Amino acid sequence: MKNIYLLAYYSIIQFLPMQPFPGYKFFYKLRYFFVKRVIKKCGKNVIIKNKCYFGDGSRLTIGNRSQLGQNARLGGLISIGDDVLMGPDVIMMATSHSFNRIDIPINQQGAEEEKPIVIGDDVWIGTRVIILPNVKIGSHSIIAAGAIVTKSCEPYSIIGGIPAKLLKRRNS
């Protein structure tokens, strides 16, 4: 049955319009209905914007009242907390290629061991942020638009840049 929901999601449901299109709330609920049935864990009142890609969903968990932004691309073991706000075009990849050997082309070295991504509660992820493997974003943090996050950050952090670094603290 999961494969039928996945097929329906990727062939039709993901393309349904979003706000401000009339009836957008119905389309949000329809996407939620399908996504809840394919991902590992899906909280209550989750919003899935259009064209989100998450593979077969078996390693993705999303907390209550969180959002996946338009065109999000999520790959690997990813845990998203409660009340997470995500802008469009966010990429999270918990997987990577091996490249240690110079005598073998990179595309023949296989994959590195998967390293999970964990997003805490009440996090705002800006437009076109890229989060790489083994990153933990502390609760109540903000990631500035366009940031490439290669390292974890503490709760209440505001991070940005390429690579992302601490810009300031929300609680100081």
CB 133 within 8 A of CB 114: yes
Q: What is the CA radius of gyration of the chain?
A: 17
* Catalytic pick among 97, 101, 168, 170: 97
Task: Find the Cα–Cα–Cα–Cα dihedral 156, 47, 41, 11, rounded to 10°.
Answer: -140
Check the CA dihedral 161-164-167-172 and report its sign.
Answer: positive
Which residues have C-beta within 8 Å of that of residue 21, sequence separation ≥ 6?
27
- 97 catalytically annotated: yes
Residues with catalytic annotation?
A: 97
